[in-house]
Amino acid sequence: MSSFPLRVFSGIKPSGDLHLGNYLGAIKRFVPLQKTHACIYCVVDLHAITVWQDPADLKRATYEVAAAYLAAGVDPKSHIIFNQSQVIEHSELAWIFNCVARMGWMQRMTQFKDKAGKNSQNVSLGLFAYPSLMAADILLYKSTHVPVGEDQKQHLELTRDIAQKFNNDFATSIKDNAYDADFFPLSEPVITGPATKVLSLRDGTKKMSKSEASSMATIYMLDDADAIAKKIKKAKSDPEPLPSETDGLKDRPEAANLVGIYASLADMSQQQVLDQFGGKGFGTFKPALAELAVESLSPIASEMRRYLAEPDIIEEILKDGANRAGDIAKNTMREVRNIVGFVG
């Protein structure tokens, strides 16, 4: 593990409007990692089509995810921003991983079960195979660290299982080709901070999600100040005042969610938020949260709009990023083909 240079990979699906969960669970955390790691941030359009996407919407959402990375402060010159479908090696390695991963592993994936629901015979094969494409995304770049939200933890564990099995299955060939025995790293999930699972504002049992039908449950990154304030005001809470200690949030998912959002936006711990608001009711806390959310999100939204008005610039950035990502990917695939025994 230590022999691998520090490299971050993460991605977001262009499958709808970006929301506060995507921002706090992923995008906001992408930015500081640029100081310590070489970072690759991908718009994972191949993942998006595991459920039907209208082609025009897919394009619009691809620009939106790229604009969000840029607006949040990802530097596309020192690091890499690109869309997955421009680097065909993702699909190639995913196929090889489909042949490494076991059916039983995939059947245990809770995200597939949640998304397929009772309809599992009628969803795409791609939705089932999604985690092996995700493993390919990460391992194509021999990435050591993967910042994601809590919901992706199981997929990251599967990525490690695939890397380990590939290294074991092909140990002899890896040695014969004089590559390091740990050919693929066991990538570390980076699931940190107070908002690794932002919940729906209307239902404390569900995560905030692009595919949520009620727009009142979700704060979108492009919401204006009025919409943000209104959604926070109407967010489900409870009649109790906020506790003074985090223990007091244990059986109060909606309260814990709002405190977590505040903490993450303000770069504070949940305890620091409770030091300030413990004993106060939601009548005091919600307006303070709304003000903070507007203050934090509005500048990013206007920067996103500025990029979205210039799609040519986004396209150039994605193309340049895809060229640079493609160089790394081609190199890995040349090695993988040798290891697997493909001729040519």
- Give me the residues that bind ligand AQP (CB under 6 A), please: 12-13, 15-16, 21-22, 25-26, 148-149, 151-152, 196-198, 207-211
Closer residue to ligand AQP (CB): 167 or 209 = 209
For the CB of residue 26, give the shortest distance to ligand AQP in the complex, in Å.
4
User: Which residue, 261 or 290, has its beta carbon nearer to ligand AQP?
Assistant: 261
Integer-rounded Cα radius of gyration of the chain: 21
Q: 152 or 270: whose CB is closer to ligand AQP?
A: 152
- Judged by beta carbon, residue 155 or residue 167, the one nearer ligand AQP is 155
Residues 6+ apart with CB under 8 A from 188: 144, 145, 146
CB 142 within 8 A of CB 184: yes
- The smaller minimum CB distance to ligand AQP, of residues 196 and 296, is found at 196
Structure tokens belonging to residue 112? 């597939």
- Please state the closest distance from residue 327 (CB atom) to ligand AQP, in A: 25
Sorted by sequence, the CB contacts under 8 Å of residue 264 that are 6+ apart come out as: 24, 28, 193, 194, 195
What DSSP letter does each residue of 188-247 carry, written as one string?
EEE--STTSSPBPSS-TTSB--TT-S-GGG--BTT--HHHHHHHHHHS---SSPPPSSGG
User: One of 13, 28, 142, 210 is an active-site residue; which one?
Assistant: 210
Closer of 273 and 336 to ligand AQP (Cβ): 273
Burial of 311 (0-12, 13-18, 19+ CB in 10 A): middle
What residues does 207 pair with on adjacent strands? Answer: 199
C-beta of 96 vs 146, nearer to ligand AQP? 146
CB 272 within 8 A of CB 263: yes
Catalytic residue, chosen from 115, 153, 197, 236, is: 115
The DSSP code sequence of 261-292 is: HHHHHHT--HHHHHHHHTT--HHHHHHHHHHH
Q: Least distance (Å) from ligand AQP to the CB of residue 25? A: 2
Q: How far is the CB of 239 from ligand AQP (least distance, A)?
A: 25
Quickly count: other Cβ atoms within 10 Å of residue 302's Cβ: 12
Catalytic residue among 13, 28, 142, 207: 207
Asked about 210 being catalytic, the answer comes back as yes
Tell me how far, at minimum, the Cβ of 84 lies from ligand AQP, in Å. Answer: 11
- Residue with smallest beta-carbon separation from ligand AQP: 25
Which residues contact residue 122 at a Cβ distance below 8 angstroms, ignoring those fewer than 6 apart?
Answer: none
Largest CA distance in the chain: 69
Say if CB 311 and CB 63 are below 8 A apart.
yes
Q: What are phi and psi of 146, to 5 degrees?
A: -130, 100
Q: How far is the CB of 115 from ligand AQP (least distance, A)?
A: 7
Secondary structure of residue 18 in the 3-state scheme: coil
CB of 47 to ligand AQP, least distance (A): 6
Active centre residues (catalytic): 115, 207, 210
